[in-house]
Chain A
């Protein structure tokens, strides 16, 4: 045995008990037994996942978990939320503390291959940008040489930032704060010139946390690709299938024009075989996934289709248009695999 392996072995003892749920089907069985989905979300990013004034969690990331709960348990409210910082999220998933992580998380090679994770879909196509106070007098990211930049640790953002400045031959001083509320407070108090994260996150911070949003602007440069999506741990393929198809059903429903409002009507009257398959009028899909035949009906009835979720959370709260997240038929990237 190599010395590194021995050292690792010594270190592993800590996680031994935590990691015991690795046998196949364990996550799915666990959820059915306890009767709810344990969902890891952001500690507070309006539009994606944030608790509203009544303490109810809202956002497109939250809707993913609600959709899964509706498909699996028949009730979109059978979800318990665990707010996580960027630095905590993967450990929480690996240790089995949460069943699914739906927390604006970028899919990358390392995370997919080395961390024992599976990305089940991309529910938001994003890119990294820069938020600045207008008083800074800068109109392009290429003018940011020497700036102080606030960033959350343990994110792809932190790496892209270093890459971008290195590639442009510019220098910067990072201020790395784990909690998003502390980090934004540091930015708004003038500790940093620039705040960087995904463009959607910047819009969220600007519109919901700035005292006067008009004093701040997002620079035009988008410096990275950030495909954000829900993640599950490897080892329970049946569970990752359920999570994947619950999301895809929402996109498929939008393509078919099935909405929260007309879903009952569609179920009773639609003659479109695709819609009939989706809503379980012609059975088979539910059985294939090990779910009730009304799985997709429950999602759409209780949570809505992808477009409705986007409209309600992202457009209404952050004022962001569909852009890359429009359906492929409208020139976007959202493209559901066929439910058949």
Chain B
């Protein structure tokens, strides 16, 4: 390209060149071009796909969501039957995913903290056991672990006909664990309300206790008080509700055990698999968090005569949290995303239900787009919450 020649007095074209040489203008221009290219590529892909699908006579669109699903799902948290539509089926799958993810996150945190602390224990056996646990389960692919647990559970427990009863009313069978549950009664709603009231009360007492300790240095027995308030209020509600005692106990009826609450082998396999696998990573995060706190903190606590267990709880863990929260967020996200492996062992999670839907309707792209956006949404929500928590825990500069 030849460079345009400009007469020295040509003000108009000179200003255009100046304009193009302006750093700010160029930056904007480049961005506009970049966005334009992205949009063009997107448009090309979309129009091409639609054209090709039409040519192959494959129907498109989300209209199928209103059609009758006509397949059954074994575990549902909401009302669902084969007559429900595909949208309801997908919600059932989503709730199952959320159920296993939330329980998994809670359990893996608890187990992870225990093993993380244990890895730093001064007791040789405890330390080595924790190391073996972490190194074993961290280094086996999680899908294989799911298969392992799923093969183990039906094989380890007897057929429902000769169910194993470790506690009265609790049955262990190859079809999962059955627990007795109270038959629905108004008293339980009342107890739920009482529990909420108790939590609110505990929150305010805690606030007051912290304030008092800051002002006077007097500690307050928060744990005991809290438990007392909670148990007391809930029990009171139970008595007011008429103290119902009726239980739905599981018992063999026909082919299966009926009544009670069933925890299926599929759910157990997924929950145990994900929890164990992720807890090893959480343990490592916790260990690194504790080790990141300078040993001067331990020594300072020692010199003030604070017990080691109290120092861990009140001095070390709060500081290590600041280091641990960002990597912990990653682990929670991993657990949520790994829960999609549940499809391999037949747990009816979102992917499993979507797969069936996709097959019965043939709307592969639509079904995949739905579950991809749902996982994205779930992960973003988890991330948002953890970011908020991180900010709250972060060192406040004074």
Interface residues of A (CB under 8 A from B): 2, 4-5, 7-17, 19-20, 22, 86-87, 90-91, 94, 110-111, 113-116, 136, 144-148, 153-155, 158-159, 161-163, 166, 172-179, 182-183, 185-186, 189-191, 193, 233-235
Chain A residues near B265: list those with CB within 8 A.
191
CB distance from A333 to the nearest CB of B (A): 26
Closest residue of chain B to A171, judged by CB?
B72
Q: Are A9 and B256 in contact (CB under 8 A)?
A: no
Chain A residues near B360: list those with CB within 8 A.
110, 154, 158-159
Q: Are B58 and A114 in contact (CB under 8 A)?
A: yes
Closest 9 CB pairs of A and B: A154-B359, A11-B369, A12-B49, A115-B362, A116-B58, A19-B52, A177-B346, A16-B49, A116-B56
Instruction: Report the separation of the CA atoms of residues A193 and B44 in the bound assembly, to the nearest whole angstrom.
Output: 52
CB distance from A25 to the nearest CB of B (A): 13
Instruction: Report the separation of the CA atoms of residues A114 and B67 in the bound assembly, to the nearest whole angstrom.
Output: 14
Q: Are B256 and A146 in contact (CB under 8 A)?
A: yes
Q: Is B227 an interface residue (CB 8 A)?
A: no
Q: Are B58 and A115 in contact (CB under 8 A)?
A: yes
Chain B residues near A116: list those with CB within 8 A.
53, 56-58, 362
Closest residue of chain A to B158, judged by CB?
A190
Chain A residues near B361: list those with CB within 8 A.
110, 114
Q: Are A13 and B56 in contact (CB under 8 A)?
A: no
Closest residue of chain A to B359, judged by CB?
A154
Stretch at the interface among B106-114, B278-286, B348-356: B348-356
Task: Please pick, from B47, B60, B150, B358, the residue contacting A87 in the complex, using a CB distance under 8 A.
Answer: B358
> What 0/1 pattern do residues 252 to 284 of B give for CB contact below 8 A with A?
011110100000011000000000000000000
Q: Are B154 and A16 in contact (CB under 8 A)?
A: no
Instruction: Report the separation of the CA atoms of residues A11 and B61 in the bound assembly, to the nearest whole angstrom.
Output: 9
Closest residue of chain A to B366, judged by CB?
A11
Chain B residues near A110: list those with CB within 8 A.
360-362
Interface residues of B (CB under 8 A from A): 42, 44-50, 52-53, 55-63, 70-74, 82-83, 147, 150-151, 154-155, 159, 174-175, 253-256, 258, 265-266, 343-346, 348, 352, 355-356, 358-362, 364-366, 368-369
Q: Are B46 and A19 in contact (CB under 8 A)?
A: no
Q: Are B266 and A158 in contact (CB under 8 A)?
A: no
Closest residue of chain B to A90, judged by CB?
B362
Q: Is the interface of B mostly helix, strand, loop or mixed?
A: helix
Also in contact, A147 and B70, with CB within 8 A (given A87-B358, A159-B360, A234-B56): no
Q: Are A174 and B364 in contact (CB under 8 A)?
A: no
Q: Are A154 and B355 in contact (CB under 8 A)?
A: yes
Also in contact, A178 and B344, with CB within 8 A (given A8-B61, A154-B360, A190-B159): yes
- What would be 11 A-B contacts, judged by CB atoms less than 8 Å apart? A8-B62, A16-B48, A22-B52, A22-B55, A136-B255, A144-B255, A153-B359, A154-B358, A166-B82, A176-B348, A190-B174
Q: Are B366 and A191 in contact (CB under 8 A)?
A: no
Q: Are B72 and A19 in contact (CB under 8 A)?
A: no
Chain A residues near B358: list those with CB within 8 A.
87, 91, 154
Also in contact, A162 and B57, with CB within 8 A (given A94-B364, A145-B254, A154-B360): no
Chain A residues near B55: list those with CB within 8 A.
22, 235
CB distance from B307 to the nearest CB of A (A): 50
Instruction: Report the separation of the CA atoms of residues A155 and B355 in the bound assembly, to the nearest whole angstrom.
Output: 11
CB distance from B364 to the nearest CB of A (A): 5
Instruction: Report the separation of the CA atoms of residues A193 and B359 in the bound assembly, to the nearest whole angstrom.
Output: 25
Also in contact, A12 and B258, with CB within 8 A (given A7-B62, A186-B346): no
Q: Are B266 and A178 in contact (CB under 8 A)?
A: no
Q: Are B359 and A176 in contact (CB under 8 A)?
A: no
Q: Are B56 and A91 in contact (CB under 8 A)?
A: no
Closest residue of chain A to B174, judged by CB?
A190
Instruction: Report the separation of the CA atoms of residues A191 and B46 in the bound assembly, to the nearest whole angstrom.
Output: 45
Chain B residues near A162: list those with CB within 8 A.
70-72, 82
With A8-B62, A19-B48, A87-B359 given, name 19 new contacts (CB 8 A): A7-B62, A15-B49, A114-B58, A116-B57, A146-B256, A147-B254, A148-B256, A154-B355, A154-B356, A162-B70, A162-B71, A175-B346, A176-B74, A178-B352, A182-B147, A190-B175, A191-B175, A193-B256, A235-B57
